[in-house]
Chains A and B, each alone.
Chain A
């Protein structure tokens, strides 16, 4: 069974640029969630995708957007990067929506200069 995989693992961007992060869900999992974890803090919910539709969103501005593909993989896009966007971005998959069980990938660490 393949776990959640994310790419890239590390990246550096400058303020104002755009970034795309990718996630492949665990085999058999059809729901993908994205979380932002700033240094020294707990993960914060960005949004969730189920059946290629956004299925819930946290308190993040519209410049954070996402996609889910038919194979359940997902992308997180962030436009107009700000310094405060520097964080570990975690993708989590779950076997079904509405259960709370999340299995996290290793994350993509984004640094915005």
Chain B
């Protein structure tokens, strides 16, 4: 079955810096890769997603890149702000009704 690995587990940056979170997946059939942001005690919220027919997608300060050959995808946050502090999860969808999540990255943005 699908396996998703996520790095780093924690990431500390200064406000205004960029942050990059990387994920790898194992199932070459996976074709949908969402990213979720989860604040303490809150639900995971979809922040951006990408399908396997594109290599990059951008939405204001966040972007996701996908390398199907290498089976990895990354989340890029530019001009980080304190409110970006949260746990970020990547996930992969290979059909079979389920999303497989990474282990999460705790991002801390210091003012």
Q: Which residues of A are in contact with B by a Cβ distance under 8 Å?
A: 33, 40-45, 48, 55-56, 58, 90, 97-107
Contact = CB atoms under 8 A, between A and B. Distances in A.
Contacts of B99: 43, 45, 100, 102
21 contacts: A33-B97, A33-B98, A42-B101, A42-B103, A42-B104, A43-B44, A43-B99, A45-B97, A45-B100, A56-B97, A90-B43, A98-B97, A99-B32, A100-B49, A100-B93, A101-B34, A101-B46, A102-B34, A102-B46, A104-B45, A106-B42
Chain B interface size band reads 20 to 34
Interface of A is mostly: loop
A42 B89 contact: yes
Contacts of B49: 100-101
Interface residues of B, dominant DSSP: strand
Nearest to B102: A42
